Structure 1
Amino acid sequence: MVKTVLYDGLNISLKKGTGVATYVRSLIKTAQSLGHKTGVVHAIQGAPPKTPLLREVVLFDDTSVQPLGPVATGRRWLRRRIAAPFGIKPVRIPLSGTVITMSQETNLGDADIFYADNDIFQLARSHFKLYGNRLQLDIKDKPDLWHCTYPMPLSVRDTLNIYTIHDLVPLRLPYLTEDNKRYHYNMLRHLVKTADHIVTVSESSRRDIINILKVDEKRVTNTYQAAHVPLKLRNKPDDVVADEISGIFNLDWKKYFLFFGAFEPKKNLFRLVEAYLAAKVDLPLIIVGAPGWKGDKAQQLVDDERFRFYMHAEDRIVPGRRIHRFDFVSYPLLVSLIRGARSVLFPSLYEGFGLPILESMQLGTPVLTSTEGSVPEVAGEAALMIDPYDTDALRKAIKALASDDDLCDHLSKVGPKQAERFSPERYQQAIGALYDNLLDGR
């Protein structure tokens, strides 16, 4: 029987995307492949227009969609905050086809139904701080399941409510995130008590949730994740990819290292740069990522006189510089960069899953990564793994990858085999079993 599953749009509306955004898109595709109808609830600035056509326009307007921005002010905001104990009613956004969505739908989720209301996600946080419980959404056409893909004190009335907790980094490594730790801990404790079920993406995270948040193990399911790199990008001929990275980036096939991800403390970028420079290898290091929390410190590295020669943010690679940074590249170009790299360097201090590792292995690119968090579950024995706190070990690993063709060939062969353990087919089975068990037991 076809069911309706509703998701939050907190992360998928972010312009530059996150790992959680990829997770949500994957969930939507998986639910649809299982035959379910899907919907997404978005936050917008201001009240939804009364005119259906204008609602559609506002939904796809980059200046209106608001994942989690500044708190709205004024009398209307005050009235909403006071009235929040009684819940809010997101408005359904009809899609007439007037707005051409070919280049935008991935930013909002390729769902069947859309809902929106003013500052929902900020309102949910403020609501929890004021009242200590979840903000209720009153959806006219009741979904069968509300799957909140990120810890957020939001619930849908008269519906099964489940929540994905990707990791407990804010509690285990509090110095690596910007979260208000008291709020985050209290909100998580409330969610695990009131949710119908908790979902996570690794056994490492599952153990943390059970042990730290004191949750019955029967109420926590690990589904892992899957790499959904489109076949047309995976099967693009090597010579075509080589031409792309040469023509666009002035890079040679398998003659550079690559890091991609946000500039944030847990990504361990400072040790990576330090180890790379100490390794004195001939291959340039390409960094794709924009500054996140504490990204200003990473930016200081860019501006530091000692490293100005080495790191540069620009649209094209200039010979002579060893480290180059790009704030953002399109997903197809990122896939080409991954495929053309000698190795992807991802020595993260902690990951709930580590999707870049899986994507790189699926594409047959050697991976250097860490021994911490859930990474060993994902990488298995198909990556070169080091203690991410040991800069010298990282230096030696980079030197080995730069010079040892046999090592790189081995990792290129075993990586795709390891990635098969997290195939879209297996992921579909895991999500299907989760949803069926919950909906059948309702």
Structure 2
Amino acid sequence: MTLPRIMVDGYNLALQKGTGIATYTRNLTQRLGALGAPVDVLYGIRSGTGARGGLLSEVDFFDPSVKAIKTREVVSRLATSRFGVSAYEVPVDGKVVSDGLRSRMPHFDRIFNVPDLFYFSKWHLRVHRRFLEVSYPQPARVAHWTYPMPVKLKGAANIYTIHDLVPLRLPYATLDNKREFHSIVSAIAKDADHIVTVSETSKRDIVDLLGVPEDKVTNTYQAVDLPQALVTRDRDEVAGEISNLFGLGDRDYYLFFGAIEPKKNVGRLIEAYLASGVKTPLVIVGALVWKNADDLKLLDPAGINDIEMQQRLRKGGSGLRKPFDPTLTRFTRSQVMRIEYLPFHQLVSMIRCAKGVLFPSLYEASACRSSRRCSSAPR
């Protein structure tokens, strides 16, 4: 059976540091490719050179401009975007040496780009009250959007992944624009050809809160597909790497990884760890994405979190007991270590050597308490 060409968005793939949704997207493209489906990936990278083909277009893809889109450019594009936008193909054919970025790349047959696509689509929704329509030559028959965004592929069946409805269920725990998020997911609920989600809790929320028929939502759960080279790597070699880099023993630490924000419940995890008196170290891998660092304040006896430590050290502050390493923070009150970011291969090593991985998410726990559906919530 010949599978249709499928387009997957590169919204999270383009972020400089990996996210869970970026991993989800890479896995999706790899599985589609393994099944024999032709795969297009659509990015929204801002061009630094303005090139629309050739070497500079490939250079832009691997080194996009960081300049913000200007207001006058948004206004100019809004004048014509009512009729949709066209993507151009990026010739990623090896002229740029990108071996070091291989772990961040999806599987693809073709790559397309519309500059600032995902940022601009939100302006398009506000002004024109409709999703931004994208087209490109010889398009895919199915478009899979891995995050709720107001974009659709012209002439294709459009499938959207809604990972959760945390901004609506726990509005105090996210920084999302709640009105905008509600507008986007409500439109997806109405117009999407199908919706994918990753847990029974999320599926129930999509059905109950957005009024979507159950047969229009499929729970695929979160797939895990790690490169065999990382999974089968010699255990002693992996343990040696973790010991040399972080001074941690094999199976001698607990691990949390993910963004540090209220919905991840990191503050309560730290509180429980400190109260337990456990001597086994706790390692937290994740960047702060919240407006403050309240979740980390328990880590220092004076209530000073590591962000404040950074600021004081940069100003030449005194009185701090230990020098600050911007990627690695140890706190004196307990055996707690925070690492802001790890490349994917090092994160896999950290997981393999952990005594246990901890994930005290508020979302599934609150759903269980409110609905008594604990047996259907993901573990």
Output the aligned Cα RMSD: 2.8
With the length of structure 2 as denominator, give the TM-score of the two structures.
0.86
Q: Do the aligned partners of residues 170 and 372 (structure 1) sit closer, same or farther apart at CA in structure 2, a change above 3 Å counting?
A: farther
CA contact (8 A) 1:248 1:316 kept: no
Q: Do the aligned partners of residues 78 and 257 (structure 1) sit closer, same or farther apart at CA in structure 2, a change above 3 Å counting?
A: same
Say yes or no: does 1:218 pair with 2:215: yes
Aligned AA for 1:13?
Answer: A
Aligned AA for 1:60?
Answer: F
Which of residues 339, 344, 348 is equivalent to 1:326?
Answer: 339
TM-superposed CA distance for 1:120, in Å, is 0.5
Which of residues 228, 232, 245 is equivalent to 1:235?
Answer: 232
Say yes or no: does 1:21 pair with 2:22: yes
TM-superposed CA distance for 1:377, in Å, is 4.2
Match runs of 1:396-407 below 5 Å: none
**Identity among equivalent pairs (%):** 39
The separation in 2 between residues aligned to 1:314 and 1:374, in whole angstroms, is 40
Which of residues 349, 357, 361 is equivalent to 1:348?
Answer: 361
The separation in 2 between residues aligned to 1:283 and 1:310, in whole angstroms, is 21
The separation in 1 between residues aligned to 2:324 and 2:356, in whole angstroms, is 20
The separation in 1 between residues aligned to 2:51 and 2:356, in whole angstroms, is 49
Match runs of 1:174-253 below 5 Å: 174-253=171-250
Match runs of 1:240-319 below 5 Å: 240-298=237-295, 305-306=302-303
Say yes or no: does 1:37 pair with 2:34: no
3-state DSSP of counterpart to 1:294:
coil
Aligned AA for 2:76?
Answer: R
3-state DSSP of counterpart to 1:199:
strand
In structure 1, runs of 5+ residues without a counterpart are 353-370, 380-442
Per the alignment, residue 131 of structure 2 pairs with 134
Aligned AA for 1:336?
Answer: S
Which of residues 81, 104, 107 is equivalent to 1:107?
Answer: 104
Q: Do the aligned partners of residues 216 and 4 (structure 1) sit closer, same or farther apart at CA in structure 2, a change above 3 Å counting?
A: same
Q: Do the aligned partners of residues 177 and 256 (structure 1) sit closer, same or farther apart at CA in structure 2, a change above 3 Å counting?
A: same
The separation in 2 between residues aligned to 1:326 and 1:170, in whole angstroms, is 26
CA contact (8 A) 2:328 2:340 kept: no
CA contact (8 A) 2:143 2:159 kept: yes
CA contact (8 A) 2:330 2:338 kept: no
Equivalenced residues, count: 356
Moved more, 302-311 or 106-115: 302-311
3-state DSSP of counterpart to 2:79:
helix
CA contact (8 A) 1:258 1:344 kept: yes
TM-superposed CA distance for 1:316, in Å, is 6.1
Moved more, 305-314 or 118-127: 305-314
Per the alignment, residue 62 of structure 2 pairs with 60
CA contact (8 A) 1:312 1:324 kept: no
The separation in 1 between residues aligned to 2:372 and 2:284, in whole angstroms, is 22
3-state DSSP of counterpart to 2:159:
strand
Aligned AA for 2:218?
Answer: T
Q: Do the aligned partners of residues 80 and 307 (structure 1) sit closer, same or farther apart at CA in structure 2, a change above 3 Å counting?
A: closer
TM-superposed CA distance for 1:8, in Å, is 1.1
Per the alignment, residue 313 of structure 2 pairs with none
Moved more, 160-169 or 238-247: 238-247
With the length of structure 1 as denominator, give the TM-score of the two structures.
0.74
TM-superposed CA distance for 1:163, in Å, is 0.7
